[in-house]
Each structure stands twice: as C-alpha cells, then as structure tokens.
Amino acid sequence: MQTKKPIHLLYVPTLFCNMSCSYCYLGELTNKKIDLSAVVETLQTSIEKFVSHGYIPYNLSFHGGEVTTLPTETLEKLFKITDSYYKTYAQDIASLGFSPTPIHIKTNLYNLKAHHKILKQYKVSISGSVDLPLSLHEKYRRDKQGNSTLDKIKENLRWLASYPHHAKISCVVTQEHLREIDAFIEDIKYIHDDIGLDMTKFNIMFSFDSIKNHEKFLQAIEGTEMLTHEEQVIFYKKIYQAFEGTVLDEGLRTHWFKEFTPDYCCSAVNCGNKFFLIESNGKVSSCPRGQSSESYSYGNILDDDIETIIANGWKRIERNENRLGIDSECMHCEFFPYCNLGCTFVRDETETNKSYTCQLQKEIYRDNPKKYPPYSEAAIKQHVKAYCYQNKIPMLEEMERYEQKEQTITPELYEKHNTLSQIISRDAILQSIYSQELFYLHVAKQNYTLSSQILKNKSEILFLNKQDPIYLYFHKDIFKINTLPRDEVNNYIHMMVLSGNSVSYGDEERHKQEHLFDYSIYKNACVSQSTLVGEYYCLDIHPIFELHQQLFREGIKHNLFFSTKTMREYHYSKHRKNAFYHIQAINLPFANIEFFWL
Ligand code: SF4
Ligand code: SF4
Ligand code: SF4
C-alpha cells in the first residue's frame, strides 16, 4: 500500500438523538430509529477501503445524532475497531507528521453514564455540547418529552471532571448568549471552580443563519439568531476582559477560539481534500454541516470507488467555491493565508463572500502577532492568485485584468541598433542630411555652422538686422543628394523660418514653433544668383529677411532651417519606413540655427 495522504474522518453511527433541542439543525432526523445492522460493518469497511488505497485517517472521531444512544456493546465494537486501527497504523500516522490521537466522541452528555466503563477502558476523548449559561441549556436543550436535562447534565459534568482522560465542553453562541454574557462568564467559572471540570480546553462556536433554508437552522427561534461581525468582536472582548490573567488565561488564548484559527477545517484552501464524514448507511459528505446538503455529498463508501469519493471531495468543494464570489476586501487582506475565506458551507448558506467570523478572526490574528504576522502585499497577491486558481476560476479573469496602459514604448527603442546615430551610420543619404558640411551662414564677417538640431549638443544664436548682409553658403553638390542627374534641375533649396511662439499642430496636437514662412529656390535660379567660392555657392539671402521682417518679434528667438526638396522627401520616406527613425526624428532634423531679429 502506497500512502497517498492523511484524512480526517468523522463517523456518524446514528442520526438518532435522545434530546430534542429546539434549534437542532438535524430536526426530524434525530427521531430516526437506530439501525444497528450496518453500524459496525460500515466503519470497518470504510477504514479498510481508505487504508488499502493509501488514505490514512489520522483522526477518527464519532459524531451524531447522539453516539451514546447506541447500545454499549455496539459502541464498544466501534471503539475496538478504532483502537486496533490506531495501533496497527501508528507508524504510518506518525510518518505523516501526526501525533497519536485518542478515540474521540462528540456527545450531548445525557446518556454518558451507560458507557462509563468502556469510555475509560478505551481512554476515549470526550467533547460534550452544553449550552451556557446553563439557564439557556435549561431553556433549549430538553429531552424528547420536553423535560429538563439540566440536572443530569450537571451530574455528568461532575463525572467528566474526575474523568482521567481528555474531556472538554463546547458551546454555540447566538444573540441570546451575548445578551446573557455575564451569566455566560459566571457559568464558565462555576463549571471550572465548583463542578471541577477543567475549562482550559473549552471551545466557543458561533451560530450562523441560513438565508437559503429558513426552516433548517437556528433563526426560527427568537434569540438564536447569529451575531453580527461587530457583536462577535464585542463578545470576544468581553470574554477576554473577564478571563485575561486568570487561571483560565492559557485556555482563553489557545483553545476557546481555536475554531477560528488555521488549525480548523474552515481555514483550509479546500476542506474537501482532507475532511470526510461517513454515516452508517455509507453516505460520505464533508462534515456535520455538509451532511444536510447534496452539494457537500461525495458518494457512498459501500457502493462507490474510493478514488471517486476522494476526488469528489475536492471537486465538490472546488465547484461550490467557484459558484461563490470573493469579497474585494479579502483580495487585499493581510491575513488571507490564515483564513482562506472561512467555511465554504456557511458562506453558501449565508450568501456571503467572506468568512462569517471575519472581524473576530482579525482580532485573534492581531492579538497574536507572533503566531499570525500579517503578510506582505506581494505575498498576499501570490496567495490569493494561487487560491483563485483552485477555487475561484471565474475571478482570475477579473484579477488579471489590469488597467490599460496609458503609454507603451517598446524596449527595442533602447537597443543600440535602433539609436538614431546607428540608423544614420547605416544610411548614406541620412548621413548627408545630418551632415554639418552642407550649409553655413556668413554674417558680419563671421561664419556660422548650420547643423541638425536633433544631434547637436550646443546651440549658437545669431543676431540678424536690417543692415548686415546675410550670406548662405551651400555645397555645390547639394542638389545631387537623393536625385538622379536628370532631375537635379527640379530640385531646390528649401528655407524655413519659424517663430519662437508655439502653436498646436495637427492630429498630435503638439505644441510646436509656429511656421512663419518657407522659401524655395530652384537649382538653376539659385546657382545663377550665387557665386562659387571653392566648394560652396554663396547666396545673399538678406532680401528675403527684409521682405518678411514685420513677422519677426523683438525678444523672441526664431529658427532658421535649410534643406533641399529631395532631402526632405528622403527624410519623410524614412519616417514611413522606420518607426525607430520616426520617433527619434520627430522634430525637424535639417541644418538650422536660431536667431534674434534686431
Ligand atoms: S443534542 Fe445535538 S443532535 Fe441532539 S437534538 Fe440537541 S443539537 Fe440535535
Ligand atoms: S464545509 Fe465548512 S465545516 Fe465542513 S469541512 Fe468544510 S470548512 Fe469544515
Ligand atoms: S479575515 Fe476577513 S477579509 Fe481577511 S480573508 Fe478572511 S474573510 Fe477576508
């Protein structure tokens, strides 16, 4: 046998109960006659089936109905099977990391006396359900004929106080319990001090209302409605105030509210992986809560293949979880990995998307920061995502939907290959366009180099005026760039003058320098008005400035560009072909210089 995983097993030998609590969630089922025919065999078969397939119950407990209504001989047979199982598989259980646990029963304590001998013999751990304050026990927990059970319960509590093995009691808290909180506190002390039962291991549970099934659960009876989140915290704090620093301090901190800590099934990512309840007719479900619902039913151990039952466990819970939502607060909760949204069944019944004890849990986590340090934002994100992959598939789409980016720039832009200087170095015509050798100005006996504003890292400022001539020197081969010899005659020098004022342009709505005027001089006209000096033609362009001088503004920088028709065509065709060039040469790349007009 290859060990596959440990499981927690509850066995319900009978649904019959000798009491008739007004708020019992089993209702009429507790009247169902005990059928002894299969009680023992079903337990034996279940254990054998699980174990033979590698599923090792590390905890085997008995739950009702009321187990003590079984004949002692039957109960003893159940204990014997369990005892033998624990002994046989002690090593396997230990190898899975679990300490040996005693046989455990959950009981209403009413009929305990009938089984004293075997309880002691098998060192059975006993968990008794009692209502506190005891006045509420008197009110709600009566026998089948409606008679009080209180005296007998007190008597059995006394017996339990002297019981040499593990024994504790638990109580479900509702609205009425909060109203009776002082009496509740007094009765804890009474049971501990006067009756003598060690209340260190006392367990508190909170009731929940079923919106889905009004008849089945507690709220049909006034006073048994569930507490709100805030009321649960008030209750918790009052209990703390009453017992902090007392002999019950340790119990208060470690046991009383343990049900709301990660030690319990409610905090599992998927409780169906581990928790199983089997009834004597073989029906398998999640737990006492899920026993009443088809959605938490995993099959029948007597009829179905064991692997199917095991798989149904996690699959049903996963399916149930996927039906349910998740509260947006949980997605960012620093305690999410301790909580995992609490009990699936309760969220299902109460139609809520977070644990019904959320605020209380947070109080507990915050009161024990060493044990439950808050998780970092990154860790929460990771955990929530992993949780949603298993349990909240529909949420994933929403989680992974990010705000649309406001801007996107491909990282390729920053690759060396795509830098403007590299693009130019691979393209002979661009090298000409960006060259500093094509144009220069001569003003007031001084030469001024004209170069591309995109590449230069310093800028010169010219001061032009009405009086001084302005000579443009352009290279004699300038009309050859990007042109066939026969088309040179159709080429021209293009001069652009811009103002320092900015205006909004085109679809981009970019604020750019305002265009004042353009001037184009075709090759032959240009050459005929110029003088060849070495490699350059010299052209007086002062008349052009004079003609438009009324456009120049005092104290504002203007911008002067020179190119040719075919250089411009090449630049814009490169824009279209190469996005990396386009984005880096978004401003005019032609030879330029800035000037003031005086
Ligand atoms: S003791 Fe438990 S099972 Fe029995 S009637 Fe009361 S609540 Fe129901
Ligand atoms: S349904 Fe709730 S109570 Fe039942 S096993 Fe799962 S978490 Fe626990
Ligand atoms: S503690 Fe509350 S908010 Fe945090 S995960 Fe649990 S239910 Fe959600």
Question: Is the CB of residue 65 below 6 angstroms from any atom belonging to ligand 1?
Answer: yes
- pLDDT for 512 equals 84
Buried b (16+ CB within 10 A) or exposed e, 579-592: ebbeebbeebbbbb
The pLDDT of residue 500 is 79
> Which residues face 532 on adjacent strands?
537
Q: Which two tokens stand for residue 314?
A: 């996690």
Ligand 2 atom nearest the C-alpha of 288 is: 4
The pair of three-digit structure tokens given for residue 148, joined into one six-digit string: 């009080």
Statement: residue 484 has pLDDT above 90: yes
pLDDT tens-place string over residues 16-36: 999 998 888 787 888 888 889
The finding on whether 588 has its CB within 6 A of some atom of ligand 2 is: no
What is the pLDDT at residue 8?
97
5 pLDDT above the threshold of 80: yes
**Cβ(343) – ligand 2 distance below 6 Å:** yes
Mutate to test the pocket of ligand 1, among 18, 129, 153 (most ligand atoms within 8 A of CB): 129
Strand partners, 496: 518, 561
Atom of ligand 3 nearest to the CA of 354: 7
Report pLDDT digits (tens) over 371-395.
999 999 999 999 998 898 888 777 7
Query: CA-CA distances (angstroms) from residue 270 to 4, 172, 315, 441, 525?
Result: 17, 24, 9, 81, 87
Place of tokens 């004042």: 516
Neighbours of 241 (CB within 10 A): 10
Tell me what the mean pLDDT of segment 401-422 comes to: 84
pLDDT (tens digit per residue) in 232-287: 999 999 999 999 999 999 999 999 999 999 999 999 999 999 999 999 999 999 99
- Specify burial of residue 548 (Cβ count, 10 A radius: 0-12, 13-18, 19+): middle
Pair of tokens at residue 444: 């007031």
R_g (Cα) of the chain, nearest Å: 44
CA distance 595 to 598: 9
Question: Separation of 26 CA from ligand 2 center, angstroms?
Answer: 16
Ligand 2 pocket test, candidate residues 170, 276, 289, most atoms within 8 A of CB = 289
**pLDDT exceeds cutoff 90 at 423:** yes
Q: Looking at the predicted structure, is the pLDDT value of residue 544 above 60? A: yes
Any atom of ligand 2 within 6 Å of the Cβ of 289: yes
Report which ligand 1 atom has the smallest distance to the Cα of 64: 3
Query: Does the beta carbon of 287 sit less than 6 angstroms from any atom of ligand 2?
Result: yes
Is residue 1 over pLDDT 80?
no
Whether 271 is in the pocket of ligand 2, judged by its Cβ within 6 Å, is yes
Nearest CA to ligand 1 atom 8: 24
Indicate if ligand 1 lies below 6 Å from the C-beta of 130.
no
- What local confidence, expressed as pLDDT, does residue 467 receive? 86
Mean pLDDT value across residues 168-195: 97
Read off the pLDDT band of 194 (50, 70, 90): very high
Query: Which secondary structure element, helix H or strand E, spans residue 542, and what is its range?
Result: helix 542-547
Atom of ligand 2 nearest to the CA of 265: 8
The owner of tokens 């254990």 is 47
The response to whether residue 8 sits with its C-beta less than 6 Å from ligand 2 reads: no
Coarse DSSP helix, strand, coil percentages of the chain, rounded to the nearest 5 percent: 45, 20, 35
| pLDDT, greater one: 4 or 187 | 187
- pLDDT level of residue 401 (50, 70, 90 thresholds): low
For the segment 485-493, the average pLDDT, to the nearest whole number, is 96
pLDDT > 60? residue 120:
yes
Atom of ligand 2 nearest to the CA of 342: 7
The pLDDT tens digits for 199-240 are: 999 999 999 887 655 544 444 677 788 999 999 999 999 999
Residue nearest (by alpha carbon) to ligand 3 atom 2:
358
Give the helix ranges, DSSP H, for 324-419: 328-331, 336-339, 344-350, 358-367, 377-391, 393-399
pLDDT for residue 560: 94
In short, whether 472's Cβ falls inside 6 Å of ligand 1 is no
Ligand 3 pocket by Cβ (under 6 Å): 327, 329-330, 333, 335-336, 339, 341-342, 354-355, 358, 361-362
Q: Residue 546 in 3-state DSSP?
A: helix
Maximum average pLDDT range among 77-86, 413-422, 466-475, 495-504: 77-86
Ligand 1 centroid – CA 248 distance (Å):
28
Give Cα 307 distance to the centre of its chain: 31
From the CA of 287, the nearest ligand is: 2
Contact call for residues 102 and 166 (beta carbons, < 8 A):
yes
Residue 450 in this model has a pLDDT that exceeds 50: yes
Ligand 1: atom nearest CA of 17 is 4
CA of 363 to the centre of ligand 3 (A): 11
pLDDT at 399 over 80: no
Tell how far the Cα of 70 is from the centroid of ligand 1, in angstroms.
15
- What is the average per-residue pLDDT within 160-179? 96
User: Residue 503 to residues 92, 215, 229, 466, 562: CA-CA distances in angstroms?
Assistant: 82, 75, 61, 27, 21
Q: What is the DSSP string of 402-455?
A: PPPPS----GGGGSGGGSHHHHHHT-HHHHHHT-SSSEEEEETTEEEE-EETTT
Q: Is 6 helix (H, G, I), strand (E, B) or coil?
A: strand
Residues listed for the chain? 598
* C-alpha 289 to ligand 2 mean position (Å): 7
Give the Cα separation of 100 and 360 in Å (integer). 31
**pLDDT value, residue 505:** 82
b/e string for 354-385 if b means 16 or more Cβ within 10 A?
bbbbbbbbbbbbeeeeeebebbeeeebeebbe
Residues 6+ apart with CB under 8 A from 414: none
Q: Stretch 309-323: mean pLDDT, rounded?
A: 94
pLDDT at 217: 47
Residue to probe by mutation, ligand 3, list 230, 341, 363, most atoms within 8 Å of CB: 341
